[in-house]
């Protein structure tokens, strides 16, 4: 049987920095309020002409280069995004694939909001383990600034832009394999986080209203409470299910939504400070891109070594959530 190995990581962040003080000039908020409630200091904003696929392509270039897998051998591209280049078609994954000059692999987008990377990783694992695909490029890319209402202080303080990517390859060596991935959803809470218009559920006829309705809306406080409760249960379950103690986790890489959510889940798992990977302060919440961007952060600091075990967790619109136990298994040592 083939196993799925997490071979490499790459990321890209746009140059423009939007600080809390910049936001305080746009809406009624302050650096102090935002930092205290979320742990965010600043986020990156893509240039006007920079698309989600452009950022995803840059992250993927790095991931492929670092993987040692020839690009013509990539046979599946999955892009987790809620801010695709185009709402309905073509999928952003097909554009990324073309930008990279890949050999016409299967390519599609994954709509699971902030859980997009973990969902996409589970697709990669399933395709590789079934033998249907051998080398999967998993991308998380978001231009959330394109779907953010910068007059709504309840959401615009949270989100940022960026991309991350990973290459997942078949291996015969079980030691290298992704151990387990949990994924779940509950549509009963669909209205907590949504872009209400622009689709077949649209409530407006006029085009201007359609455009405004494409911005994200969120019931933040309710989302916060469910996120803490659900994630704590989910990570405890994936550890127990695999007989792994939290002190065997070298890097706990949570979705970077809010420092208080991360702390609550980390504390419930008795994670030490040095186990928890944090990028929320400098990038905010980049939805499907946040986990691979955070993994890339420790990789580029030289803190992620071959064989080290990562615990990933995420929670987002849908509602969706998931967790994964992933050893870092590069081909190139």
The binding site for ligand COA (CB under 6 A) comprises 29, 33-34, 37-38, 114, 153-154, 157, 218, 220-221, 223-224, 227, 257-258, 261, 285, 315-316
CB of 227 to ligand COA, least distance (A): 5
Cβ proximity of 276 and 260 under 8 Å: no
Closest residue by beta carbon to ligand COA: 220
Pairing relationship of beta strands 106-110 and 76-80 according to DSSP bridges: parallel
Say how far apart CA 101 and CA 250 lie, in whole Å: 35
Return the number of the residue (137 or 314) whose C-beta is nearest ligand COA.
314
Catalytic residue among 135, 258, 285, 296: 285
As a whole number of angstroms, the distance between CA 101 and CA 156 comes to 35
Q: Using CA atoms in the order 28, 31, 33, 37, what is the torsion angle rounded to 10 degrees?
A: 130
Q: Is 285 a catalytic residue?
A: yes
CA 9 to centroid of chain Cα atoms: 13
CA 232, distance to chain mean position in Å, is: 18
- Report in angstroms how near the CB of residue 238 gets to ligand COA at its nearest: 18
C-alpha–C-alpha distance, residues 37 and 119, integer Å: 28
- 5 vs 157, which CB is nearer to ligand COA? 157
Shortest distance (Å) from residue 152 CB to ligand COA: 9
Nearest approach in angstroms of CB 40 to ligand COA is 9
Q: Which is nearer to ligand COA, 198 or 220 (CB)?
A: 220
Left, alpha or beta for 317 (phi > 0: left; psi -120 to 50: alpha)?
Answer: beta
Nearest-Å Rg of the Cα atoms of the chain is 19
Annotation says 114 is catalytic: yes
The full length of the chain comes to 333
- CA 28 centroid distance within chain: 29
Check if the beta carbon of residue 128 is closer than 8 Å to that of residue 138: no
Closest to ligand COA by CB, 6 vs 315, is: 315
Taking alpha carbons only, the member of 154, 164, 123, 124 closest to residue 255 is 164
Cβ proximity to ligand COA, 315 vs 328, nearer residue: 315
- Among 114, 135, 156, 296, the one annotated catalytic: 114
Q: How far is the CB of 292 from ligand COA (least distance, A)?
A: 15
CB of 223 to ligand COA, least distance (A): 4
Distance CA 287, CA 141 (A): 8
Our CB check for ligand COA shows the closer of 219 and 236 to be 219
Name the minimum Å distance from CB 33 to ligand COA. Answer: 4
The active-site residue out of 79, 135, 251, 255 is: 255
- Partners of 169 in the beta sheet? 5, 135
Q: Which residues contact 281 (CB under 8 A, 6 or more apart)?
A: 39, 40, 41, 42, 259
Contact in structure between 186 and 174 (CB atoms under 8 Å): no
In the complex with ligand COA, the residue whose CB is nearer, 34 or 253, is 34
**Catalytic (active-site) positions:** 114, 255, 285
């Amino acid at each position: 049987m083939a196993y799925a190995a997490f071979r490499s990581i790459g990321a890209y962040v746009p140059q423009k920095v939007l600080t809390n003080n910049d936001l305080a000039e746009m809406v009624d908020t302050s650096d102090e309020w935002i930092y205290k409630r979320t742990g965010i200091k600043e986020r990156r904003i893509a240039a006007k002409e920079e698309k989600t696929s452009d950022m995803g392509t840059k992250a993927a270039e790095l991931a492929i280069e670092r993987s040692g897998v020839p690009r013509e051998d990539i046979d599946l591209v999955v892009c987790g995004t809620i801010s695709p280049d185009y709402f309905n078609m073509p999928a952003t994954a097909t554009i990324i694939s073309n930008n990279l000059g890949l050999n016409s692999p299967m390519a599609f987008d994954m709509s699971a909001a902030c859980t997009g990377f973990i969902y996409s990783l589970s697709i990669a694992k399933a395709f590789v383990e079934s033998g249907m695909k051998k080398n999967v490029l998993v991308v998380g890319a978001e231009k959330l600034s394109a779907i953010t209402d910068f007059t709504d202080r309840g959401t615009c303080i949270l989100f940022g832009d960026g991309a991350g990517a990973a290459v997942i390859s078949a291996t015969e060596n079980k030691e290298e394999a992704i151990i387990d991935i949990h994924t779940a959803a509950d549509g009963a809470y669909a209205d907590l986080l949504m872009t209400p218009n622009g689709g077949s559920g649209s409530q407006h006829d006029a085009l201007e209203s359609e455009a405004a309705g494409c911005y994200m809306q969120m019931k933040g406080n309710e989302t916060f409470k469910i996120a803490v409760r659900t994630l704590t249960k989910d990570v405890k379950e994936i550890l127990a299910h695999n007989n792994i103690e939290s002190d065997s986790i070298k890097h706990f890489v949570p979705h970077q939504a809010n420092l208080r959510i991360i702390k609550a889940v980390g504390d419930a798992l008795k994670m030490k400070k040095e186990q928890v990977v944090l990028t929320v302060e400098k990038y905010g919440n980049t939805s499907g891109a946040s986990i691979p961007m955070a993994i890339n952060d420790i990789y580029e600091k030289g803190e992620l070594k071959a064989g080290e075990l990562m615990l990933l967790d995420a929670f987002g619109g849908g509602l969706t959530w998931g967790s994964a136990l992933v050893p870092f298994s590069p081909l190139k040592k």
